[in-house]
Amino acid sequence: MEFKIYSTSTEQYNEVDWDKYQDSHCSDNNQSPINIIPAQVWNNAKIEWRLSHHYSAYHDRVEVMNDGILFVIRTSTLNEAIVFSVHYGEQEEDVAVYLLNNVHFHWGDNALTGSEHAIDGKKYAAEIHLVHTLEGTTDKDYKNKNKAEKFDTIFAIAILVEEGERDESFSPIEGMLNNNLDPSSATLSESFSIYALISKLLNQGDKNVYYSYHGSLSAPSCDEIVTWAVFKHPIQLSRRQLNGLRTKVTTKFNSPMVNNFRGLQSTNSRNITAYSPKIVIIGPGMPEGASTREMMSLNYYAVMSIVLMLIISNFI
């Protein structure tokens, strides 16, 4: 499996001009990110996440590209789908099946700013987004709301990052940053696990809580097609690791890429629900040619907490 890492410049985060983009929805009523007030959320404990084993596997090849706003890990050849499904109930119509599309990062120039979302008014040093697209949609038609009669076409997991302990699961990205991520390309051969970035928040007691709401893409054209899952508790990166993002990722103007986050948007009385998901992982024994939904229904589930014990939870 291969991953590509992209980044672009902070010039795109001049929100004053966002309404000028073609088909812009950036002034609509269900925009993201938002400030989440835990005392005002609904609680619903019944939900299950199921992931294909490719989600938690370590992948050997990462291709690095910087075309000058986001720092993105993106699947480039998808020989085996990285499947993620959300089970809101027991019936098939209650299951939303997604494919991982990309992982990207937002950060600021200090430890007190950089995240897109806020919890009780508190912002964090960075935020990691795991973006999933609804099964059956493509890059060309993911905005087509007809594709999503019941579920949003994008399910985005948001991980808040605070300055603190080092996390070794971030070390492959550190190695890439040590080569200075200017607008060019390179290949990183170290193994890398996407799931390592969030494993420490799952199956971890009271840390296994996220806030979900209907919102938008946080960059133009701000389409309101996203179910957000913002984890209540942050993970940690060390100051050195965060400084790697702040100083070694540069724009096309050779300036540090920082503050690549959108400002908070009005909640506009939207419902926000707190979930504590049960996590199961699908084993490797899927029959050849099985569809995504067939894969999700197979009885190859195993508790993934044992796998996740391999992940060390401190960044630099």
Is a pLDDT exceeding 70 seen at residue 285? Answer: no
Is residue 23 very low, low, confident or very high in pLDDT (cuts 50, 70, 90)? confident
d(CA 224, CA 226): 6
pLDDT at 295 over 90: no
pLDDT in tens, 38-48: 999 999 877 99
Q: How far is CA 141 from CA 53, 96, 145, 169, 178, in A?
A: 27, 17, 9, 34, 37
Query: Whole-angstrom Cα distance, residue 298 to residue 280?
Result: 12
27-57+80-167+196-229+261-308: CATH class: alpha beta
Please report the pLDDT score of residue 315 as a whole number.
35
Residue 64: its pLDDT value, please?
58
Look at 11-20, 136-145, 179-188 and tell me which has the smallest mean pLDDT.
179-188
pLDDT at residue 273 greater than cutoff 90: yes
**Could you tell me the residue ranges of all domains in the chain?**
27-57+80-167+196-229+261-308
Is the pLDDT at 114 greater than 80? The verdict is: yes
CA angle (58, 64, 65) in 5-degree steps: 145
d(CA 293, CA 93): 12
Check whether 267 has a pLDDT greater than 90: yes
Decide if pLDDT at 77 tops 50: no
Task: Report which of residues 314 and 129 the model is more confident about.
Answer: 129
Mean pLDDT of 20-25: 84
Residue pair 53/237 in contact by the 8 Å Cβ criterion: no
Better-scored residue on pLDDT, 37 or 20: 37
Q: pTM above 0.85? A: no
